[in-house]
Amino acid sequence: MKNKSDDSDPDYGEEYKTKQRIAKRISQQKRRANPDYRKKENSQQLKRRIKQRPITKYINENISTAKTNSIIQTHSAFGHRGYKILKNIDTRIDIEKLNEDIKKERLNWKRNCQTTEDSLTLSTEIIDYEKAQYKNKFFENELNGIIKNNIGNDYQAFDMVIVKSLKKDCGKKHIHYDYDPRKVDEYKTDYPVCGILAFHHNTKLQIYKNGSINKIESVSESQIKDITIEKGDILLYIGYLPHRDSQCDEDNISLHFVCKKVNQN
């Protein structure tokens, strides 16, 4: 006859596991009844939600409904690395003509300061640069055609500005978001996309390169890399991507814009 205390008995082993599960549940219930524990648990849950923003979930939804390969490739690039470069050989933008048209315009240049208020890295620098609103209906239509072919039929360009970076003022700018990632559930699949059209060769942007875009809280110098675009190229990047303009070796101008769905504010 077998001894009931013998742990080789299958019945005894199952009974022991059941008692362990019950003890664990009782222990969890006692902890959760403690107000201090509940505060700590809620705090941890909030941190987990912040670290696991479902940006790529919404990107994948846009990929699944895309109707052309070019749109699929763009949003796939957003999910994989956060950006996509459109080469001038494909967009066929006449950058020389556009540059001449801009020179003829009486642009209202405004001096701007980038402070550390919205930056993700600690810095005491204040960076000066100049920008001017740019309105050109012919070029806007051309740009919107490129956007529809590569991002989606219901996207178009807003807030076109010419940014002038002068060598004498061109320090290291602050890493920042264009759009707050905490609003990812507000925008959902309507996430904003930002763009830069280069007027010069070796136009550079520094972007976040390490880990998932869903889990960004802060960015260190070791987590950024240079992206170089050539004259006439367009860099498209998802608005939640941490980035900064790189230091320039000479005076540089570029056209910046935001791509949003037509019904977005």
Which residue carries 């360009």 as its tokens? 157
The pLDDT of residue 41 = 53
Q: Which of 164, 181, 256, 261 is nearest to 218 (CA)?
A: 181
CB under 8 Å to 189, separation ≥6 — which residues? Answer: 58, 61, 62
The answer to whether 105 and 134 have CB atoms below 8 angstroms apart is yes
The pLDDT of residue 8 = 57
The answer to whether 253 and 199 have CB atoms below 8 angstroms apart is yes
Same domain, 82 and 189: yes
Residue 99 belongs to some domain of the structure? yes
- Residue ranges of the chain whose pLDDT lies below 70: 1-13, 29-33, 35-53, 112-128, 166-173, 211-212, 217, 247-250, 264-265
Domain count along the chain? 2
Q: How far apart are CA 4 and CA 11, in angstroms?
A: 8
Cβ neighbours around 14 below 10 Å, total: 10
Q: Which of 87, 70, 84 is nearest to 233 (CA)?
A: 87
Residue 2 belongs to some domain of the structure? no
Residue 22: strand, helix, or coil: helix
Could you tell me whether strands 110-114 and 234-238 are parallel, antiparallel, or unpaired per DSSP bridges? Answer: unpaired
The pLDDT of residue 148 = 95
The pLDDT of residue 118 = 47
Same domain, 70 and 35: no
Residue-number span of the structural domain to which 163 is assigned: 54-261
Same domain, 143 and 83: yes
The pLDDT of residue 70 = 95
The pLDDT of residue 120 = 52
The answer to whether 165 and 252 have CB atoms below 8 angstroms apart is yes
Same domain, 206 and 189: yes
Same domain, 185 and 94: yes
Same domain, 16 and 70: no
Its pTM stands at 0.74
Same domain, 227 and 253: yes
Same domain, 39 and 62: no
Same domain, 139 and 249: yes
CB-based contacts of 106-109 (< 8 A; 24+ apart in sequence): 107/132, 107/133, 107/134, 107/162, 108/132, 108/133, 109/164
Same domain, 123 and 110: yes
Q: Which region, left, alpha or beta, applies to residue 92 given φ > 0 means left and ψ of -120 to 50 means alpha?
A: left
Q: What is the DSSP letter of 223?
A: G
Same domain, 220 and 92: yes
Render pLDDT for 68-81 as a digit per residue (tens, 0 to 9).
999 999 999 999 88
CATH code at position 141:
2.60.120.620
The pLDDT of residue 228 = 92
CB under 8 Å to 180, separation ≥6 — which residues? Answer: 240
Render pLDDT for 118-150 as a digit per residue (tens, 0 to 9).
455 434 445 557 888 899 999 999 999 999 999
Same domain, 98 and 37: no
Residue 1 belongs to some domain of the structure? no
